[in-house]
Amino acid sequence: MLASHTETLALREQFETPAQQKEASSLGMWIFLVTEVMFFSGMFLAYTVYRAAFSQVFSVASNTLNVVIGAVNTSVLICSSFTMVLAVHAAQIGSRKLLILFLILTMLLGGVFLGVKAYEWNQKFEEHHVPGPTFHLDGTTQQGQAQLFFSLYFAMTGVHALHMVVGVGILLTLLIQAFAGRYTAEYNTPIDIAGLYWHFVDIVWIFLFPLLYLIGRHHH
Amino acid sequence: MHEHIDSIKTYAVVFVALLFLTWTTTFVATIDLGPFNVVVALAIAVVKMMLVVLFFMHLRHSTILMKVVIGGGLMWLGILLLFSLADFGTRGWLPVPGK
């Protein structure tokens, strides 16, 4: 039983097969992602309850967001998911060059998304759409309800952006390791697992985009 | 180890579908469908989520255990949403003293 196999990155002592080890890692990541689903759902729930209660003001507030920028940024994030899955594919076929290329592209697209987000937030400060003493939204007398929309907007897009920053950090770590030649066709689990995380963050935005940007468009 | 490797073509088709659905949801939002605007928007978002989960996150090649874990997670999500919305949705129904 002792030293039944030589330990490698792909097959640690405690596992029977590399497939079993990879399965254990994926399962762990999925369980973490389920907790993330619950975490974000708390905010989605708060949004749903307040939107049902104050739907008219939420429509007016939502219409102040720039839908073109929102749609373009959604597309940027979808592009980054595509390059991420290509990075995983490159790792699976053992191409270090392509892996490095697609990790860099994914990070760049993530950076573009965050840059656009920063621009949008800055606009909110200039338009006095940030909840606080100087808050003012045209088109409604219910300033409190309007502040609720923007509180949810900043909380949800803020936590989402924080996840993006963490994601870029993870990709940077993987990139450095990929440069060093750590990942091969036999062992690329961390690339795969990071991909799961990146796609999850994409999915959160897939729901945020219609709920924040599109709910009031038909009243325009 | 029998790892399933998808073709780049499969990923490209899913990628184009995701971009198309993004355009669709943005366009449909400008048409007044009454209460169905939000239904359509969420339906499209769910389809996009399924595309990402099944293809980009490789769930369609995953084991039963993985699917059960995710299904379990979604069940808890359902409990969170259903019970909370049942609470908020019915608060005005009964004249409860001290409410």
C-alpha to C-alpha distance for A144 and A141, rounded to whole angstroms:
9
A168 burial type by CB count under 10 A (0-12 exposed, 13-18 middle, 19+ buried)? buried
Residue B88: closest C-alpha in chain A: A49
Give the model's pLDDT for residue A133. Answer: 93
Give the residue on A whose Cα is nearest the Cα of B51: A203
Q: What is the model's pLDDT at position B20?
A: 98
Taking Cα atoms as reference points, which of A175, A201, A203, A199 lies closest to residue A90?
A175
Judged against a pLDDT cut of 60, whether residue B1 lies above it is answered with no
Residue A215 Cα, gap to closest chain B Cα (Å): 7
Query: Measured between CA atoms, how close is B94 to chain A, in angstroms?
Result: 18
B15 and A206 within 8 Å at the Cβ level: the answer is no
Residues A110-143 as b/e (b if ≥16 CB within 10 A, e otherwise) read: bebbbebbeebbeebeeeebbbeeebebeeeeee
A13 vs A7: CA distance, rounded Å: 6
Write out chain A residues lying below 8 Å of B37, CB-based: 214-215, 218
- B2 pLDDT more than 60: no
For residue range A28-45, what is the model confidence (pLDDT) as tens digits? 999 999 999 999 999 999
In the predicted model, residues of chain A with pLDDT beneath 70 are 1-5, 220
What DSSP line would sit under A50-103, residue for residue? HHHHTHHHHHHHHTTS-HHHHHHHHHHHHHHHHHHHHHHHHHHTT-HHHHHHHH
**To 10 degrees, what angle do helices A143-179 and A189-209 make?**
160
**DSSP 8-state assignment for residue A220:** -
Backbone Cα Rg of chain A: 21
Of B11, B37, B53, the CB nearest to A82: B11
pLDDT of residue B99: 60
Judged by CB atoms closer than 8 Å, whether chains meet at A199 and B70 is answered as: no
Contact A141, A133 (CB under 8 A): no
Tell me which chain A residue has its CA closest to the CA of residue B87: A49
**Which residue pairs, CB below 8 angstroms and at least 24 apart, start in A4-13?**
A8/A186, A8/A187, A9/A182, A9/A187, A10/A186, A10/A187, A10/A189
Q: Cα(B26)–Cα(B32) distance, rounded to whole angstroms? A: 13
Whether residue B19 and residue A78 make contact (CB cut-off 8 A), yes or no, is: yes
> How far is CA B44 from each of CA A37, A46, A89, rounded to the nearest angstrom?
18, 21, 27
* Alpha-carbon distance values, A51 to A19, A46, A48, A78, A215 (Å): 46, 8, 5, 27, 10
Whether residue B23 and residue A71 make contact (CB cut-off 8 A), yes or no, is: yes
Q: What local confidence, expressed as pLDDT, does residue B98 receive? A: 65
**Upper half-sphere CA count for residue A41 (Cβ side, 13 Å):** 18
pLDDT tens, residue by residue, B19-64: 999 999 999 999 999 889 999 999 999 999 999 999 999 999 999 9
> What structural domains and CATH numbers belong to chain A?
18-219 (1.20.120.80)
Measured in angstroms, the CA of A134 and the nearest CA of chain B are apart by: 31
Between CA A123 and CA A119 the distance in angstroms is 6
- What is the least distance, in Å, from the CA of A144 to any CA of chain B? 20
Tokens coding B10: 């499969």
Residue B79 identity (one-letter amino acid): I
